[in-house]
Amino acid sequence: MGKIMKNNEKFKNKIHEYDAIVIGAGHAGCETALALARTGKKTLIITLNLDSIAFLACNPSIGGTAKGHLACEIDALGGEMGVNADTCLLQIRMLNRGKGPAVHSLRAQVDKNVYHTRMKQVLENQENLSIKQAEVSEILVKNHKIYGIKTAQGEKFLCKAVIIATGVYLKSKIIIGKYSSNIGPNGFAPANLLTKNLINLGFNIFRFKTGTPARVSGKSIDFSSLERQEGEENIQSFSFLTKKLPKNKVACYLTHTTPETKKIILKNIHKAPLYCGTIKGVGARYCPSIEDKIMRFSNKETHQVFLEPEAETTDEFYVQGASTSLPVEVQNELYPSIKGLENVKIMRNAYAIEYDCIDSTQLKPTLEYKKISGLFTAGQINGTSGYEEAAAQGLIAGINASLFLEGKDGLVLSRSSSYIGVLIDDLVIKGTNEPYRMMTSRAEYRLWLRQDNADLRLTETGRSVGLVDDKRYKIYLEKQKNIEKCMKILEKTLKIDEKMINFLKKQNESIPNQSIKIYNLIKKNNVNIFDVNREFGFFENIGREVLETVNINIRYEGYLKQQQREINEMLKQEAARIPENIDYKNLKGLRIEAREKLEKIQPQTIAQASRISGVSPADISVLIIYLKLKKSENKQK
């Protein structure tokens, strides 16, 4: 009996120890945990509900404008999102085909059920990774250092690093008209306890809001009156590991709201939580609700709506473009006013959701909290919106937590290296007062930061931090080899024979007087590398993805060279480091606003300082002069 009591006491006092603990298992948390575990760190991921792992709480898609870039970059660095999306896709297509390659963006409809299930299996099968269902109530800190976490159930877990990736679950509240309830997306439980602890740890807390449209029965939709939108075959994948994408399995449909929709919303606008004051959180400017669209664009009579299937095993369709928080009785009137939905059956009502997030300017560029060593945050808690933005931050937070545990300097991607670099730089240097959404216009060097070359830009970085394995690295080296092979072929000179003359006439191009290099042939306005390959077969054994990259590099050579010059200038400023602990308050010549902003953000380089809102070029000049004087003084010593 005494032995049993002693064993019970032993288990009762057992302390669970890990290298790192990830709080949250959404898109940020999954990438964080996998990055840590794959770099050899004993990791625990804690989630409120195992059924919400990698859950697609909003639209059943991955990618979109600029988001497709993020998904490809996550993959190039060794993340999981791209592989998961390719495996689960129902339909894929390239957006913005009518524009230049800088803004071409992959977007895929994915099976939301398979996406969750497969990602959960990946976590479960990952070496060094444990999964736990629980609510975290406290992050344990001593002497400004992490030493563990405590759950609402009273368990303690010790660790040296914690990554908070709580998504929209912090004190989340669902709002539909006058109805509100403290629950998370899709009825999942919220995280009610952690916000208070974060405030005690010094975080500034904001209240943001997002929303989602109704899910409706596909059997109740009149597809015959709608514009069918098919996917594309033989298209680039999100993952550079994917050899062949699955065939497109479903179609999406384009429809529109009607003048009747507008009348219904205007008649009931006083019931909208967004306009009657019920919603306190700040919403996303670039993803407005349908009532917000009607009010902001009062001259428009109709708005686009896309109907997107959620999974192969459900009849539910997502009504993209018609999110709302209007009361249920208004929704029952609103959705049937949309073309094709006249007899629609709503399966899940639309709702708005409010949640807590932090001031991202309190973070270092590594996503580590400035006040506590070993505490990182990633995803929507940092004020972003979207699965891809969350996953990108999660991957970087996981990499940097791993490097932190090894006592190494963190990884900071520059704005010239990636959309991920732009995203994180914007968050920690500029901050955000609304849910941040990545767009191609945010990237200064977007012609260089394309989806097709994400592997060429980032695979070596992923390799250096231990996430790119031999299989992925071999594929990357093979692509480089084929690009070099292409470039040699392009140097060949072609005679202007009858075949060439006929080809150029067919392409509506002038006939040169003398022989021409293949390279110069492709630079012509109406010719590309695929046309040349079809006609002459020079690149028969080289894959489409390689030809795409080479083609863009040739046709946009001048623009790319100009962008490279701009990048080199920017990198000089990035190299100009600012020492820690500068007393900005007493630095003469700086304006008061600049002193306050520099003191708060603590930029690490002149380039970062120049991007802070409220810091003028004159302030930067003062700072540069100060640094030169300090450098001169140190030399004299």
**Residues of the chain above pLDDT 90, percent:** 82
Neighbouring CB atoms inside 10 A of 575's CB total 10
Question: What is the rounded CA–CA span in Å between residue 439 and residue 582?
Answer: 34
Question: What is the rounded CA–CA span in Å between residue 442 and residue 438?
Answer: 7
Mean pLDDT of the chain: 93
Question: What is the rounded CA–CA span in Å between residue 15 and residue 35?
Answer: 24
Question: What is the rounded CA–CA span in Å between residue 32 and residue 382?
Answer: 14
Give residue 611's pLDDT.
Answer: 92
Give residue 125's pLDDT.
Answer: 98
Confidence of residue 7 (pLDDT cuts 50, 70, 90): low
Confidence of residue 359 (pLDDT cuts 50, 70, 90): very high
Q: Which of 159, 194, 154, 175 is nearest to 36 (CA)?
A: 159
Confidence of residue 74 (pLDDT cuts 50, 70, 90): very high
Q: What distances in angstroms separate CA 498 from CA 88, 96, 492, 539, one per listed residue?
A: 49, 37, 18, 21
Who's near 198: CB < 8 A, 6+ residues apart?
Answer: 139, 164, 205, 356, 358
Kindly state the average pLDDT of the residues 323-331.
Answer: 96
pLDDT higher than 90, residue 634: no
Nearest 5°: phi and psi at 451? -70, -40
- Could you write out the DSSP letters of every residue in 500-524? HHHHHHHTT-PPPSS-EEHHHHHTS
Task: Give the rounded distance of the alpha carbon of 634 from its chain centre.
Answer: 43
Identify each DSSP E strand in 118-164 by its residue range.
Answer: 129-133, 136-142, 145-151, 156-158, 161-164
pLDDT higher than 70, residue 12: no
Neighbouring CB atoms inside 10 A of 15's CB total 9
Task: Give the rounded distance of the alpha carbon of 100 from its chain centre.
Answer: 22
Kindly state the average pLDDT of the residues 579-605.
Answer: 89
Give residue 574's pLDDT.
Answer: 84
Q: At what angle do helices 529-536 and 544-555 cross, to 10 degrees?
A: 120
- In tens, the pLDDT along 480-497 reads 999 999 999 999 999 999
The winner for highest mean pLDDT among 15-19, 125-129, 532-536, 593-597 is 125-129
Q: Are 275 and 327 in contact (CB under 8 A)?
A: no
Q: Are 317 and 216 in contact (CB under 8 A)?
A: yes
pLDDT higher than 70, residue 10: no
Task: Give the rounded distance of the alpha carbon of 491 from its chain centre.
Answer: 39
Question: What is the rounded CA–CA span in Å between residue 145 and residue 125?
Answer: 31
Question: What is the rounded CA–CA span in Å between residue 601 and residue 223?
Answer: 52
Give residue 588's pLDDT.
Answer: 86
Count, residues in the chain: 637
- In tens, the pLDDT along 75-119 reads 999 999 999 999 999 999 999 999 999 999 999 999 999 999 999
Q: Are strands 493-494 and 316-320 parallel, antiparallel or unpaired?
A: unpaired
pLDDT higher than 80, residue 281: no
Identify each DSSP E strand in 24-103 by its residue range.
Answer: 43-47, 61-63, 89-95
Give residue 8's pLDDT.
Answer: 52
This prediction has a pTM of 0.94
Which comes out higher in pLDDT, residue 282 or 273? Answer: 273
Question: What is the rounded CA–CA span in Å between residue 440 and residue 419?
Answer: 8
Element of type H or E holding 131: strand 129-133
Q: At what angle do helices 470-490 and 454-464 cross, to 10 degrees?
A: 140
Q: Are strands 173-176 and 316-320 parallel, antiparallel or unpaired?
A: unpaired
Give residue 39's pLDDT.
Answer: 98
Task: Locate 619 and state its tokens.
Answer: 């302030």
Which domains, ranges and CATH numbers included, belong to the chain? 215-354 (2.40.30.260), 470-562 (1.10.10.1800), 576-636 (1.10.150.570)
Task: Locate 177 and state its tokens.
Answer: 């008209």
Task: Locate 202 and state its tokens.
Answer: 């010094």
* 534, burial (CB in 10 Å: exposed 0-12, middle 13-18, buried 19+): exposed
Kindly state the DSSP code that residue 427 receives in the 8-state scheme. I
Give residue 637's pLDDT.
Answer: 63
Give residue 279's pLDDT.
Answer: 79
The mean-pLDDT minimum among 282-286, 366-370, 466-470, 588-592 falls in 282-286
* 441, burial (CB in 10 Å: exposed 0-12, middle 13-18, buried 19+): exposed
- In tens, the pLDDT along 24-51 reads 999 999 999 999 999 999 999 999 999 9
CA atoms within 13 A on the CB side of 473: 11
What order do you get walking across the sheet with 161-164 strand by strand? 129-133, 43-47, 20-23, 161-164, 375-377
Q: Which of 451, 429, 448, 417 is nearest to 70 (CA)?
A: 451
pLDDT higher than 60, residue 122: yes
CA atoms within 13 A on the CB side of 28: 28
Q: Are strands 161-164 and 375-377 parallel, antiparallel or unpaired?
A: parallel
